[in-house]
Amino acid sequence: MRFDGKTIWITGASSGIGRAVALRLSKENTHLILSDINETGLKEVASDCEKNNCTTLVVPMDLSDEKSVVAAAQSVLNKNIKIDGLYQFAGISQRSLVSETPLFIDRKIFEINFFGAIALTKAILPDMIKNGGGQLAVTSSLVGKFGFPQRSSYSATKHALHGFFESLRAENKQNNIKVSIFIPGRVRTNISVNAITKDGTVHGQMDAGQDGGITPEKAAQIIFNGLKKEKKEILVGGKELIMVHIRRFLPGLYYYLSSRIKN
């Protein structure tokens, strides 16, 4: 993937990894479409990106609302903008036990993390195919590779994204559609702070492990390098990434550790 002169749409762009990736790509002579529910934050990021002589288009969007997603996509397509890449970072995490979590919380997490992401993908994919191809990338998680306490539906949404986007990749090889899946471990963002609890309230605190994670800027550089190489899976994090290999090659050890590891 060559970024020079390309138009890239980034969701979750107002903060965290999405913001850091937007700023990194703004140095590559790109045109950026920036989306998030936080319009004020988006305008601040757009202003920072434009300092690097990058052009931006701010498109606020609520991933929990299908109509908002479709309207956002249509507003961009109506401008006859050729989208070369769609990189999705927006999402919500969870801190609650299965036995205590009502179904409406599970549905809310799926609505944002899974259905919101695939709604936007479906809205722009036909146009991307018509224009000769493009690059799709979506954010999973380490717990998209295995289950983890207090992340049941969050983990399930990430597993679902793997299934959906791997299928999409297989269907569209002939259409020149490249698909990458980000797999972050511990990155120092507010995802744990903003995670929802069993009653839908905000968790309100950063996990100790995450507080010691890599910076969003380091994560953005890893992601940038992976996207440039069109890697199918991009692992992002530190020593905690070893859990992916433990789960694959030493499942017994994973089962033991997963019931003991704290946040």
pLDDT tens digits, 9-50: 999 999 999 999 999 999 999 999 999 999 999 999 999 999
Quickly state the pLDDT bin for 262 (edges 50, 70, 90).
low
Mean pLDDT of 128-157: 97
**Virtual torsion, Cα 241, 246, 247, 252, nearest 10 deg:** -150
184 strand-pairing partners:
236
Quickly state the pLDDT bin for 55 (edges 50, 70, 90).
very high
Alpha helices in the chain (DSSP H): 16-25, 39-50, 66-77, 103-110, 116-130, 152-171, 208-211, 216-228, 242-249, 251-258
Hey, which residues are catalytic here?
Answer: 154
pLDDT, residue 108, reads 97
Taking the C-alpha atoms of residue 166 and residue 162, their distance in angstroms, rounded to an integer, is: 6
Taking the C-alpha atoms of residue 138 and residue 152, their distance in angstroms, rounded to an integer, is: 19
Nearest CA-CA partner of 240 in 145, 129, 142 = 142
Q: What's the mean per-residue pLDDT of the chain?
A: 96
Tens-place pLDDT, residues 216-254: 999 999 999 999 999 999 999 999 999 999 999 999 999
Taking the C-alpha atoms of residue 154 and residue 148, their distance in angstroms, rounded to an integer, is: 9
Query: What is the pTM (predicted TM-score) of this model?
Result: 0.96
Positive/negative CA dihedral, 235, 239, 242, 243: negative
Tens-place pLDDT, residues 185-214: 999 999 999 999 999 999 999 998 899 999
Q: Is 143 exposed, middle or buried (0-12, 13-18, 19+ CB in 10 A)?
A: buried
Mean pLDDT of 49-74: 97
pLDDT, residue 260, reads 80
- Give yes or no for a contact between 161 and 251, defined as CB atoms under 8 angstroms apart: no
Residue indicated by tokens 């550790």: 257
Q: Is 209 exposed, middle or buried (0-12, 13-18, 19+ CB in 10 A)?
A: middle
Q: Name the token pair of 119.
A: 């709604």
Quickly state the pLDDT bin for 263 (edges 50, 70, 90).
low
pLDDT, residue 129, reads 98
Q: Name the token pair of 246.
A: 């433990």
Ordered domains of the chain (ranges, CATH): 7-258 (3.40.50.720)
